[in-house]
A = this chain, B = another copy of it.
């Protein structure tokens, strides 16, 4: 299907359920898609950071995209990450996911290599020139260690290179600059990647949200979005605060024992397992799994949010 322009509402970055031995759990992935669709979401984003894209082999990435595109069957737009270090490698992922039917590709700045704004611009221009579908910039400094400058995003948007931005930078002031600057550009999608500031992002003009926690509680994020759009800002804020509390699950994993990524993805998958959506909470190597006690804490967050 054609990507809506702009894309609005809630577009979860879809977790990738794994079997205990690290393979893609296709039935669980389909069940997760059903869970999200029935939650009322407006699109799906596969192969993002929350999808453990950094851990999936090319074969697994293809299986994920194939599975989700086939299962969604055109009911919702499917965005796919094309996440790799530099242009030539990203172009291969773009070819793979678009052949599999992705409706848009989501691409970060170059990483591993030291980069420069002129190189980032060249990167996106080359990718857009070779992509059969719209290109959405993915601003995620915690992963790629470069911040996409707002001015650069707007320049590329004005030139038709970028169709949107997924902002996972945490810098809401910079995001606001993009939102304001892109207002004259019909169809540009400004999406926040924050779990915690969706109401604030919508209030300043964001088109939608891509919150990892929406895997766990899609209904909550959809409710938040609908409350906001109906003008019930207090209701949206209350829903956001309920989701902020739920997000506290990412602190269950002991930071002395694991990184913040292991803790966050481990919590989301534990919650999906506890909610009965996926068969196994395993995360990919070399992430450290949550302990039984830590999983129990995740369960308490679910209970407190009314989800068990």
A interface residues, Cβ below 8 angstroms from B? 22, 49, 54-58, 60, 83, 85-89, 92, 110-116, 118-120, 122-123, 126, 142-145, 170-173, 176-177, 180, 194, 196-197, 199-200, 203-204, 233, 237, 241, 244, 256-262, 284-288
How many copies of this chain does the complex contain? 4
- A257 cross-chain contacts in B, Cβ below 8 A: 116, 118
A56 touches B244 (CB 8 A): no
Minimum-distance CB pairs A-B, first 7: A116-B259, A122-B286, A123-B286, A173-B196, A54-B85, A87-B285, A114-B261
B residues less than 8 Å from A173 (CB atoms): 170, 194, 196-197
Q: Given that A110-B286, A172-B197, A173-B194 are known contacts, is A86 also in contact with B54, CB under 8 Å in the complex? A: yes
How far, in angstroms, from A22 to B126 measured CA to CA in the complex? 13
Chain B residue at minimal CB-CB distance from A124:
B286
Chain B residues closer than 8 Å to A286, beta-carbon distance: 86-87, 110, 115, 119-120, 122-123, 126
Tell which of B114, B123, B284 touches A86, judged by Cβ atoms closer than 8 Å. B284
User: Whose C-beta in chain B lies nearest to the C-beta of A287?
Assistant: B119
